[in-house]
């Protein structure tokens, strides 16, 4: 069961500083934060807030909002005030947009200092974040490295990205600003992973993970799982975003699935299910699809095994809080905490399991 302690499963997270993004602490021993980014027109306040709320419903800890123009930063005051989670303002090129977003209530700004311009402009941004208790993310991206680094390395390389990141870190620290995290993202898994590993050896700043422009819902999730999973397994990463060409809610779901698979966050129902075969005693694929939808509102960490036959069913049930294994003749066995509990007809199984999970979730909430 999920509360069992297995030393060979423990991941030793990299030691990092702790920063604040609004009321959320990032780094140190704090939970790895999952975020996403809105894709609405920011000046459409209603649409943006509605999307933020949908992301929060599936668990997003913070949400990033793009601020490309004055209309966007003007909308940020209402967006930040009405958002149930801290808002990160995504800034590119124009330092005044950063200052406007900070003064509008953003809990954090994401910038690439190299794109902001002169040191004087960066100083103005730093003065604003200090005055408004705002944090910052340095966003180094392989696709927008400084011209001098591209000339030096001839192409985006891990060393070029690390050098860019360390230079930005020094710039902020020289200005006596320390409430920031950093990312070194690329669309190439190998490039991005190597840059993150190298960066982690040179700084204790919190690290935000991402494989940028990862792709569509399926391909992007797989690509991100490979890259982010590898880094997380090594103990690297304090926040993450799964960048998908899909609705932002899907990014949040994918992020939590990656963390759950490594035991780094226990959020919602984790369904362990078989791929199904001719031995199945019920339609496993359809059942799992329905249960994922019906149980998506659960936030408590509960494991549920759905196995089509008795070959692996009892064994998988030993490792989950609740379970169901097909047994033939139109019925199957329900397991509770790894032990056989009672039989139930397949036709009643979905409603029965939903009720069991909801009851357990309510008990967990009450206990906490």
CATH of 13-261, one of 2.20.28.160, 3.40.50.920, 3.30.1180.20, 3.20.20.20: 3.20.20.20
| Cβ atoms of 232 and 211 closer than 8 Å | no
Tell me the Cα Rg of the chain: 23
pLDDT at position 112? 79
pLDDT at position 46? 98
Q: In whole angstroms, give the CA distance from residue 189 to residue 368.
A: 40
Same fold? 13-261, 269-367: no
pLDDT at position 60? 95
Sequence-ordered alpha helix ranges (H) in the chain: 45-57, 70-82, 95-104, 113-116, 119-131, 147-153, 158-174, 189-200, 217-233, 248-261, 284-294, 313-317, 346-367
pLDDT at position 290? 96
pLDDT at position 215? 83
Phi/psi for 129 (5° steps) reads -65, -40
pLDDT at position 113? 66
Ramachandran bin of 149, using left for φ above 0, alpha for ψ from -120 to 50, beta for the remaining angles: alpha
CATH code for the part of the protein at 269-367? 3.30.413.10
pLDDT at position 57? 92
pLDDT at position 115? 73
* Residue numbers in the chain where pLDDT is lower than 70: 1-9, 113-114, 117, 368
Sequence-ordered alpha helix ranges (H) in 58-136: 70-82, 95-104, 113-116, 119-131
Break the chain into its structural domains and give their ranges: 13-261, 269-367
Neighbouring-strand partners of residue 340: 335
pLDDT at position 7? 57
pLDDT at position 92? 82
């Amino acid at each position: 069961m999920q509360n069992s302690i297995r030393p060979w499963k423990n991941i030793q997270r990299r030691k990092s500083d702790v920063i604040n993004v609004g009321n959320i602490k990032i780094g140190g021993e704090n939970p790895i934060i999952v975020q996403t980014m809105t894709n609405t027109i920011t000046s459409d306040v209603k649409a943006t807030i509605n999307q933020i709320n949908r992301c929060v419903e599936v668990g997003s800890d913070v949400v990033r909002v793009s601020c490309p123009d004055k209309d966007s930063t003007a909308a940020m005051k209402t967006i930040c005030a009405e958002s149930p989670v801290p808002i990160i303002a995504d800034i590119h090129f124009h330092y005044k947009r950063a200052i406007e977003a900070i003064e509008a209530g953003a809990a954090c700004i994401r910038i690439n200092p190299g794109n902001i311009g002169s040191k004087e402009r960066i100083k103005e941004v730093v003065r604003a974040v200090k005055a408004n208790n705002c944090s910052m993310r340095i966003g180094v991206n392989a696709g927008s490295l400084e011209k001098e680094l591209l000339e030096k390395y001839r192409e985006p390389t891990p060393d070029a990205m690390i050098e860019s990141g360390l230079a930005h870190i020094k710039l902020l620290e020289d200005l006596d600003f320390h409430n920031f995290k950093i990312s070194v993202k690329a669309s190439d898994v190998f490039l991005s992973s190597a840059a993150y590993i190298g960066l982690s050896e040179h700084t204790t700043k919190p690290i935000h993970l991402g494989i940028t422009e990862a792709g569509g819902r399926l391909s992007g999730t797989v690509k991100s799982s490979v890259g982010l999973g590898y880094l997380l397994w090594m103990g690297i990463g304090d926040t993450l975003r799964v960048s998908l060409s899909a609705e932002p809610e899907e990014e949040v779901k994918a992020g939590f699935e990656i963390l759950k698979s490594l035991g780094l966050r226990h959020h919602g129902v984790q369904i362990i299910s078989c791929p199904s075969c001719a031995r199945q005693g019920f339609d496993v694929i359809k059942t799992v699809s329905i249960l994922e939808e019906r149980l998506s509102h659960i936030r408590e960490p509960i494991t549920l095994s759905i196995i089509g036959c008795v070959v692996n069913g009892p064994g998988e049930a030993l490792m989950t809080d609740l379970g169901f294994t097909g047994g033939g003749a139109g019925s199957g066995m329900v397991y509770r905490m790894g032990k056989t509990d009672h039989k139930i007809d397949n036709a009643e199984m979905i409603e029965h399991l939903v009720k069991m999970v909801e009851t357990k979730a309510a008990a967990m909430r009450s206990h906490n």
